[in-house]
């Protein structure tokens, strides 16, 4: 565990996974604008999309969940935003994506026997990065429903 301010400079430009799906929200904003301007009979739908996307982009909080570099993964601590975990790829024994009702988890099993987990909200980007940097270490689990 290290302080976020002590991360190497290369980490600043590394791929980032955050809470908000920014690309999807911007796409909703553009679709809402197109509906309002070019299809006036869809004005209400366009206005709803526009207002929802503006609210999500500007009003809802966002924070970083993890960053991926060629040498390590950075897992940001949800409780103390000034701390993060830096895990080198060769320290990971296996990893798995767990489904839960409130939010999903990425669980990393490390060579020292400990596990690190972080809440995640988008499977596709996480799985892509993990298969790129830690190939063959995924533990597949079946989708299961849990009661919160």
109 plus 126 within the same structural domain: yes
Higher pLDDT: 137 or 77? It is: 137
Q: What is the pTM for the complete model shown?
A: 0.75
| 119/99 same-domain check | yes
Check pLDDT > 50 for residue 148. Answer: no
Domain check: are 76 and 119 in the same one?
yes
Domain boundaries, position 28: 20-58
Burial class (CB within 10 angstroms; exposed 0-12, middle 13-18, buried 19+) of 32? buried
**Together in a domain, 37 and 93:** no
Torsion angle of C-alpha atoms 34, 37, 38, 43, degrees rounded to 10: 90
- Quick check: 94 pLDDT over 60? yes
Count the domains in the chain. 2
- Asked if 91 and 43 sit in the same domain, the reply is no
pLDDT of 17 reads 85
128, part of any domain:
yes
């Amino acid at each position: 565990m290290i302080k976020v301010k002590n991360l190497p400079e290369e980490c600043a430009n590394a791929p980032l996974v955050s809470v908000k799906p920014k690309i999807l929200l911007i796409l909703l904003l553009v679709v809402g604008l197109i509906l309002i301007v070019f299809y006036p009979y869809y004005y209400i739908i366009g206005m709803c999309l526009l207002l929802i996307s503006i609210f999500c982009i500007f009003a809802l909080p966002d924070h970083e969940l993890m960053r991926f570099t060629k040498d390590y993964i950075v897992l940001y601590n949800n409780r103390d935003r000034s701390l993060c975990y830096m895990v080198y790829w060769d320290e990971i024994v296996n990893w798995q994506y767990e489904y839960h009702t409130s939010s999903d988890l990425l669980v990393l099993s490390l060579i020292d026997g400990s596990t690190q987990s972080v809440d995640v909200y988008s499977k596709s980007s996480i799985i892509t990065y993990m298969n790129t940097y830690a190939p063959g270490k995924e533990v597949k689990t079946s989708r299961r429903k849990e009661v919160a």
